[in-house]
Amino acid sequence: MDYKELIVESGLKMLGSGMTIETWGNISCRDPEEGLVYMSPSAMSYDAIAPDDVVVCKLDGSVVKGHRKPTIEKELHLSIFRERPDVNAVVHTHPLYSMVYSCQGKDIPMLIDEAAQVLGCVCQTAGYALPGSPELAKNCMKALGQKANACLLQSHGAVCVGQSMEAAFKVAKVLEVTAQIYYMIEATGGKPINICGEHIVMMQDFVKNHYGQDK
Ligand SMILES: [Zn+2]
């Protein structure tokens, strides 16, 4: 797979999805065979990034290939790859409805079946830290833990992870739809009904082991 091309395409996809605007957000992926991490460059328009602008580095942060400065959230991405061997892609977005909750330091519960199936567990909000700081990477890891596929960064955005880029994008979309539904429930004076733990476990098992044409 051409991972540089994957970063370029994914940047355009993120921009087109409306989950971020301008040059905000960032994307990375890991080549599971070589262990190298590919990430988007800092402060470049997604529609201007070419494959050679993608920065390639090792898990310790040393740059192997690339002439651009990497995303300022390099340490956040690398922390996730170091601590979560199950993750090969990270998508950091600034999505509107999810941010309604991140700005209040609130978590997003698994309100709908899709959320129960793909978010891993409740989406927690990581405590505030400055963009690009080592504290933000630390707070993000604390909120993600070993099981969650998404967390919010207080007053900043969302971090979504997956075994592949496609999986990370699915998490990002489901998180934002869940946040939108949560917002609409609260805006209409309602109260969500939680899906019980037993059903969540059953759905996660079904998706992992039985759902799909090849299972
Ligand atoms: Zn950001």
Retrieve residue 164's tokens.
């592949």
pLDDT tens-digit map of 104-140? 999 999 999 999 999 999 999 999 999 999 999 999 9
Of the candidates 90, 72, 78, the one whose C-alpha atom is nearest the C-alpha of residue 24 is 72
**Which of 14-18, 72-76, 195-199, 210-214 is the most confident on average?**
72-76
Percent of the chain whose pLDDT exceeds 90: 91
Quickly state the pLDDT bin for 3 (edges 50, 70, 90).
very high
Give the H or E element holding residue 91: strand 89-93
Query: How far apart (Å, rounded) are the C-alpha atoms in residues 184 and 88?
Result: 33
Query: How far apart (Å, rounded) are the C-alpha atoms in residues 49 and 21?
Result: 15
Residue 145, pLDDT above cutoff 90 = yes
Q: Give distance in angstroms: CA of 156 to centre of ligand 1.
A: 6
Query: How far apart (Å, rounded) are the C-alpha atoms in residues 160 and 214?
Result: 25
Percent of the chain whose pLDDT exceeds 70: 100
pTM given for the model: 0.95
Q: Give distance in angstroms: CA of 144 to centre of ligand 1.
A: 16
Residue 21, pLDDT above cutoff 90 = no
- Residue 207 is predicted with a pLDDT of 87
Name the residues annotated as catalytic: 73
Q: Give distance in angstroms: CA of 185 to centre of ligand 1.
A: 27
Q: Give distance in angstroms: CA of 157 to centre of ligand 1.
A: 6
Residue 211, pLDDT above cutoff 90 = no
The whole-chain average pLDDT of the chain stands at 95
Residue 208, pLDDT above cutoff 90 = no
> How would you label 82-107 residue by residue, b for 16+ Cβ within 10 Å and e otherwise?
eebeebbbbbbbbbebbbbbbeeebe
pLDDT tens-digit map of 52-95? 999 999 999 999 999 999 999 999 999 999 999 999 999 999 99
Query: How far apart (Å, rounded) are the C-alpha atoms in residues 52 and 200?
Result: 42
Query: How far apart (Å, rounded) are the C-alpha atoms in residues 189 and 46?
Result: 39
Q: Give distance in angstroms: CA of 88 to centre of ligand 1.
A: 19
Q: Give distance in angstroms: CA of 187 to centre of ligand 1.
A: 26
- Mean per-residue pLDDT for 176-187? 97
Q: Give distance in angstroms: CA of 23 to centre of ligand 1.
A: 9
What architecture does CATH give domain 3-209? 3-Layer(aba) Sandwich (3.40)
Query: How far apart (Å, rounded) are the C-alpha atoms in residues 195 and 51?
Result: 43
- Mean per-residue pLDDT for 35-64? 96
Query: How far apart (Å, rounded) are the C-alpha atoms in residues 15 and 201?
Result: 33
